[in-house]
Amino acid sequence: MGFIDFALKCLLIKLTFLSPGDPSQFDPSFRGPINKRGCTDIICCILFMLVLLGYAALGIVAWLYGDPRHVLYPRNSTGSYCGIGQNKDRPNLFYFNILKCATSVNIMAASLNDFQCPTTQVCVERCPDRFWAVQLNMYAMPPADVFDDSFCVPSIDLEDPDQVSLFLRLDLLNGFNAGDITVRIFEDFASSWPWILIGLLIAMVVSMLFLLLLRFIAPVMVWVLIIGVLGAGAYGIWHCYWEYENYKEASITDVGFTTNFNVYLQVQETWLAFLIIISVVEAILLLTLIFLRTRILIAIALIQESSKAISHMMSSLLYPLLTFVLLVVCVAYWGTTALYLATSGVPVYKVVTVGNCTNINGTEDCDPQNFNSSDYSDCPSASCMFIKYNDEGLLQRNLFNLQIYNVVAFLWCVNFVIALGQCTLAGAFASYYWAFTKPDDIPTFPVCASFVRSLRYHVGSLAFGALILTLVQLIRILLEYIDHKTKAADNALIRFLLCCLKCCFWCLEKFIKFLNRNAYIMIAIYGKNFCVSAKNAFMLLMRNIIRVVVLDKVTDLLLFFGKLLVVGGVGVLSFFFFSGRILLPGETFRFETLNYYWIPIITVAFGSYLIAHGFFSVYNMCVDTLFLCFLEDLERNDGSLQKPYFMSKNLMKILSKSNKVPR
């Protein structure tokens, strides 16, 4: 979880001495996730359902009144869309005199809220590949029908050096065609997509094998990493001592103060300080290893047990696909609703002029379909331009509030989907741990059963935890917005306060995610409401905080190297393949046909990371669930005939415990 999680767990250590809570009591009827449970946090469930209904109604209203064509397709001077309707074969918009866009910025800004380029705009089949110059009046506005689809004539004044210079720069930029690059990228995808899928399949297989092999290689990997860190520290001590001996004749008093820090590396005191610091760190690591060796062994055993649990529930590795699909639906619905809301107003057109006719500039409404510039004989540059969307009416007046509702509902739905996935996996893995005889006592279809329990009984509790996290995220978004608006203000105090607030709420978000995750595990097992589950999980972790920190760091280390193995290995393999260093027999694929061979490499590497993250998130949830179950097992049971342990024999061996009844 990173440095912040380590700091939060250190805070829990202090809280442990204040109120550790009472240990869990033995319950003779408890045999895993409770089936007889009731609905929890009903009020929050009702509120969440009402928000979802309102969100659906908002989407319907946005769909009825919005028109995404306003932003998906450009408009010409008559208000017609390019690329659809009568201009179906003319997808590009050509500005007749682009210089007016630059020369009229100040004039337009003085009278209009939104800048629009005051020049004739025409839908064309393709943009010109060269620029033609003719001597035309600067303010002439010829009708659109004088232009041919494949031939566009921009109007410039050859006697104006600024205009000529601008078009020379445009001619140079014309060589860089973004459309051609996009076409080439799509061509690369079209020719290499089967091999990209094969690369992603390899990443999936490697991720799955790594998780399953952790039950055998976890001890070796952990001790190799620990010995490697200690070895690096020992080398650092030796190197600092060697440098210290080499610079015996140089002292920091001879150097004094200097901004060249390389000078300080040539004095004795610097290396002595490094030697002391590294020696202290090395001593702390050795003492930690000596006193926490049992807890490290427990962490390794739980990691091995998690790998064994996943091998009995392979369907759990597929659950992230459902979470991914639901998240895609949430993002797509939010984006579509935001787009339709933003285009729900009626376009407003105004008469726009350049020159001395500023008295009518932006003051008169017009219809681009029926506009006639001859009605403004005194202003030959008059044209009918789109200015903005109409902000009148109930929907338009509340458009900002509706967009805020869209964001709040989106964040709440996303956090709920993630919470549902965590609770579902926790219930499945808890049923594995509390099966006395494994795998015979494991329920049938544990993932599906846990998913149904979560939706049937705990929508309110999951929505409650998601709502708390959503509120914190909204505050962080608001702080980012304020920070963006106040960047221009040269006020050190405001900048400092905003930085502190952003840091505090970032830490708070991390803490709430940590607390919610463990609360969902307790909800999946015992079926209590969110507050009771969060309290029980928090107290249980506080009573075992050293084990929490050790297990968390060991698991993070293993999963980090696992991701590095998957992404690095598959990425290197794809590099050698798509760059032509690995050749396959036959003509199934020729890397010479690729325009940019790094496109499929980046795609495979990024896809491999997403796949590895999905698999390892399941594994991380399994470790956390089994760990909480293990702590509960230690507090509830003592190994007697009436209260036998449910933990594995390996864990009992590490703790020097045993059951009087054979398993």
The pLDDT value recorded for residue 290 is 84
> Best-predicted range by mean pLDDT among 66-75, 247-256, 281-290?
281-290
Q: Assess if residue 128 is contained within a domain.
A: yes
The pLDDT value recorded for residue 204 is 87
The C-alpha atoms of residue 300 and residue 425 are separated, in whole angstroms, by: 21
Q: Where are the beta strands (DSSP E) in 484-544?
A: none
Give the bridge partners for 55, in sequence order. none
Q: How confident is the model at residue 236 (pLDDT cuts 50, 70, 90)?
A: confident
Q: Mean pLDDT over residues 137-159, rounded?
A: 41
DSSP character at residue 95 = E
Structural domain boundaries, residue 99: 77-152
Q: Which of 152, 182, 209 delimits the end of a domain?
A: 152
Residue 356 pLDDT exceeds 80: no
The pLDDT value recorded for residue 107 is 39
Of 63-72, 324-333, 540-549, 643-652, the poorest mean pLDDT is in: 63-72
Average pLDDT, the chain: 76
Q: How confident is the model at residue 134 (pLDDT cuts 50, 70, 90)?
A: very low
Of 123-127, 326-330, 369-373, the poorest mean pLDDT is in: 369-373
Give the bridge partners for 383, in sequence order. 352
Q: How confident is the model at residue 461 (pLDDT cuts 50, 70, 90)?
A: very high
Q: Mean pLDDT over residues 615-628, rounded?
A: 88
Q: Which residue has the higher pLDDT, 41 or 9?
A: 41
Joined tokens for residue 28: 């003779």
Q: How confident is the model at residue 15 (pLDDT cuts 50, 70, 90)?
A: very low
The C-alpha atoms of residue 317 and residue 373 are separated, in whole angstroms, by: 67
Q: How confident is the model at residue 293 (pLDDT cuts 50, 70, 90)?
A: confident
Q: Which of 91, 120, 152 delimits the end of a domain?
A: 152
The pLDDT value recorded for residue 27 is 60
Q: Mean pLDDT over residues 322-328, rounded?
A: 90
Give the bridge partners for 274, in sequence order. none
Peptide bond into 439 cis (omega under 30): yes
Q: Assess if residue 31 is contained within a domain.
A: no
Instruction: Single out the residue of 537, 313, 536, 516 nearest to residue 428, CA to CA.
Output: 313
Scored b (16 or more CB within 10 A) or e, 234-256 reads eebbeebbebbeebeeeeeeeee
| End-to-end alpha carbon distance in the chain | 36
CB distance 532 to 461 below 8 Å: no
> Best-predicted range by mean pLDDT among 97-111, 497-511, 560-574, 576-590?
497-511
Q: Assess if residue 506 is contained within a domain.
A: no
> Best-predicted range by mean pLDDT among 245-254, 422-431, 578-587?
422-431
Alpha carbon 421 to its chain's center:
17
Joined tokens for residue 530: 């969110």
Phi, psi of 390 (to 5 degrees): -60, 130
The C-alpha atoms of residue 118 and residue 533 are separated, in whole angstroms, by: 63
DSSP code per residue over 352-363: E--SS-TTSTTT
> Best-predicted range by mean pLDDT among 239-248, 327-336, 436-445?
327-336
Phi, psi of 641 (to 5 degrees): -65, -35
Residue 439 pLDDT exceeds 70: yes
Do the bridges between strand 347-352 and strand 383-389 make them parallel or antiparallel, or are there none, so unpaired? antiparallel
> Best-predicted range by mean pLDDT among 69-73, 528-532, 561-565, 612-616?
528-532
Q: Assess if residue 232 is contained within a domain.
A: no
CB distance 537 to 519 below 8 Å: yes
* Helix residue ranges, H only, 174-314: 178-246, 252-255, 268-291, 293-312
Joined tokens for residue 22: 């009472």
Residue 344 pLDDT exceeds 70: yes
The C-alpha atoms of residue 591 and residue 581 are separated, in whole angstroms, by: 10
Q: Assess if residue 364 is contained within a domain.
A: yes
The pLDDT value recorded for residue 631 is 86
Q: Which of 123, 152, 181 delimits the end of a domain?
A: 152
Instruction: Single out the residue of 494, 525, 609 nearest to residue 562, CA to CA.
Output: 609
Q: Assess if residue 231 is contained within a domain.
A: no
Residue type at position 589: F
CB distance 465 to 516 below 8 Å: yes
Joined tokens for residue 639: 């190994």
Joined tokens for residue 626: 């089994």
> Best-predicted range by mean pLDDT among 426-440, 450-464, 626-640?
450-464
Joined tokens for residue 347: 């376009």
CB distance 384 to 373 below 8 Å: no
| Rounded percentage of the chain residues whose pLDDT exceeds 90 | 17
Q: Mean pLDDT over residues 540-569, rounded?
A: 83
Instruction: Single out the residue of 155, 144, 154 nearest to residue 368, CA to CA.
Output: 144
Q: Assess if residue 423 is contained within a domain.
A: no
Q: Which residue has the higher pLDDT, 653 or 129?
A: 653
CB distance 326 to 462 below 8 Å: no
Number of separate domains in the chain: 2
Of 81-85, 391-395, 419-423, the poorest mean pLDDT is in: 391-395
Joined tokens for residue 438: 């494994």
Instruction: Single out the residue of 429, 348, 355 nearest to residue 396, CA to CA.
Output: 348
DSSP character at residue 48 = H
Of 159-168, 366-375, 514-523, 643-652, the poorest mean pLDDT is in: 159-168
Joined tokens for residue 581: 């260093």
